[in-house]
Amino acid sequence: MVTQSSTPTPPLTGIIPRWEWRTFGARFGAAEAAFAAMTPTGVQESDEVYLLSGARDNVKIRADLMDVKVLREVNDAGLEQWIPVMKASFPLAAADVIRTFEALELKSPTLSRDAYTLDQFVAELATPAGIRAVNVHKRRVRYKVNGCTSEVTDVTADGRPTRTIAIESEDAAAVVEGVRSVGLADYLNVSYPKGLGAVLAGTPARYAVIDVGTNSVKFHVGERAADGAWRTVVDRAEVSRLGEGLEEAGEIGSTPLARTADAIKAMVDEATADDALAISAVGTAGLRIARNRDDVIAEIRRRTGVTVDVIPGEEEGRLAYLAVQAGLGLGDGTIVVFDTGGGSSQFTFGRGTAVDERFSVDVGAVKYTERFGLGGVVSDEVLRNALAAIAADLSRIDGRASPSALVGMGGAITNITAVKHGLARYDPEIVQGTVLERSEIDRQIELYRSRALEERRAIVGLQPKRADVILAGACIVRTVMDKLGKDRLTVSDHGLRHGLLVERYG
């Protein structure tokens, strides 16, 4: 992808274009430890004035020079190539004033002087034209990362503090690897004009997470306030059936892959439009067991620009537990959190905030739906056989003490909850913290098993795309309750994606 400036000004003589990557924020997770372990190559402080007009080019005044960089190209990895096209001293000649306004994508005003001092330029030209002159102080600490020039900079823009990390080189591949090596591969490239604009506007930092499951893709964008509290910007799911036919074929088919990649691409585009600083994507059971998972991940990366990190079931359970503790606050008693999905179920046993044990079992709604034909009207015998198979596959939780609290999450649980409340439109605030009784699970099992697929789709609260797998999901939930000796459970709308958000960005 090539982006050209409106004015194809040649670069300054002797300049070799570099590929640049940069991000802004207050916290950078694992990258902070990575840089702390390095030896700096230098420290530099400077005072500069950035001229912001909403344009994409980088215009600033540094060391009494009008310094203009033009964005010439953005490559497939999102790296930007900025080319210096002007360094002119003050008083600024009229011709250089015109070039500055062109870089700011503004019509040059009528000029009454042959040259302008800095104060004259700001007062007579910049301010009337709506250009914001921003006083910026920088303290750069420089490093070498994978052979690339890098800097971690503390920035104060008109009194507002922020930090920025940059990595740049003539070698684009080296920059990409350098970004990955310090733990910032999920972060998007943010230019100085855009980053400063967000800081000055007081825009809270936003981060996106995508949970690529066997049955659905879940998407969450969280906004972090200055006090560290999280606010939901977007939270939704798309049933893409990545695991359709997986049990029989042992691999993910091209049609489910295409549906899933389309869903992820739409989420990436939405996160980018929402100015997310980073997008993390993780894959669960379907990708763990598919023999062609490397090819699937590569195709998703090619079509969406996002790399899906396939996490172990135990890690999935740990993140879910983290989300529950952050969202429900269940006290210091014993807690079991389970998350049942399309291809597997994750269990985490703990007490208070401490995790004692976590594991994953291959018990998922898609698997039993396909094996026993649970997508429509089901006989008593078939239902008994399905329940027996689920119970056998859940033998790992046999004989365990009944916990103080049982918490369920995942698409099956939240859909069952939405049906209980008759939610024509899903409301996470109603779902979060709902208590489901065993009698309600039994009622819904009977409701689903006695209806054909189209009749299920008409049930208020049930996501139509989940209608064929909901019976299997309800059977898994009931079996878990039976084995752990609980006649009720608490519902968490917060799941893996919320735990991942807190883990990586909070």
* pLDDT for residue 419: 98
Instruction: Give the pLDDT band (50/70/90) at residue 8.
Output: very low
* pLDDT for residue 3: 37
* pLDDT for residue 14: 60
Give pLDDT tens digits for 455-491: 999 999 999 999 999 999 999 999 999 999 999 999 9
Domain 330-505 top-level CATH class:
alpha beta
**Quick one: tokens of 405?**
């609290």
Exposure class string for 441-462: b at 16+ Cβ within 10 A, else e? beebbebbbebeeeebeebebb
- Once rounded to an integer, what is the mean pLDDT over residues 113-123? 95
Give pLDDT tens digits for 247-294: 889 999 999 999 999 999 999 999 999 999 999 999 998 999 999 999
- Where along the chain do the CATH 3.30.420.40 domains lie? 205-310
* pLDDT for residue 11: 54
- Once rounded to an integer, what is the mean pLDDT over residues 109-138? 95
- Where along the chain do the CATH 3.30.420.150 domains lie? 330-505
pLDDT at position 49 over 90: yes
- Of 52-61, 164-173, 227-236, 326-335, the one with minimum mean pLDDT is 326-335
* Beta pairing, strands 354-361 & 334-340: unpaired
pLDDT at position 328 over 90: no
**Alpha-carbon span 494 to 432, nearest angstrom:** 7
pLDDT at position 10 over 70: no
Instruction: Please state, rounded to an integer, the average pLDDT across all residues of the chain.
Output: 92
* Beta pairing, strands 205-212 & 216-224: antiparallel
- Looking at per-residue pLDDT, the higher value among 343 and 413 belongs to 413
- Give the torsion through C-alpha atoms of 106, 112, 117, 119, to 10 deg: -70
**Alpha-carbon span 51 to 112, nearest angstrom:** 21
- Where along the chain do the CATH 2.40.320 domains lie? 18-201
Number of Cβ within a 10 Å radius of residue 310: 19
DSSP E strands: which ranges in 146-204?
Answer: 148-157, 160-169
Percent of the chain with pLDDT over 90: 81
* pLDDT for residue 354: 85
Contact 340, 412 (CB under 8 A): yes
What is the DSSP code (8-state) at residue 104? T
**Alpha-carbon span 267 to 303, nearest angstrom:** 12
* pLDDT for residue 29: 85
CATH code that applies to domain 18-201:
2.40.320
pLDDT at position 7 over 50: no
**Quick one: tokens of 320?**
């879910």
CATH code that applies to domain 205-310:
3.30.420.40
- Once rounded to an integer, what is the mean pLDDT over residues 348-357? 89
Give pLDDT tens digits for 197-224: 999 999 899 999 999 999 899 999 999 8
Q: Percentage helix, strand, coil, to 5, in the chain?
A: 35, 30, 35
**Alpha-carbon span 435 to 340, nearest angstrom:** 17
Instruction: Give the pLDDT band (50/70/90) at residue 316.
Output: confident
Give pLDDT tens digits for 384-406: 999 999 999 999 999 999 999 99
pLDDT at position 1 over 70: no
pLDDT at position 2 over 60: no
Residue carrying structure tokens 């190539």: 81
**Alpha-carbon span 214 to 364, nearest angstrom:** 9
- Once rounded to an integer, what is the mean pLDDT over residues 96-119? 95
Contact 7, 95 (CB under 8 A): no
pLDDT at position 4 over 70: no
DSSP assignments along 12-78, one per residue: PTTPPPEEEEEEEES--THHHHHHHTSPPSEEEEEEEEEEESS-SSEEEEETTEEEEEEEEEE-TTS
Which element (helix H / strand E) includes 228?
none
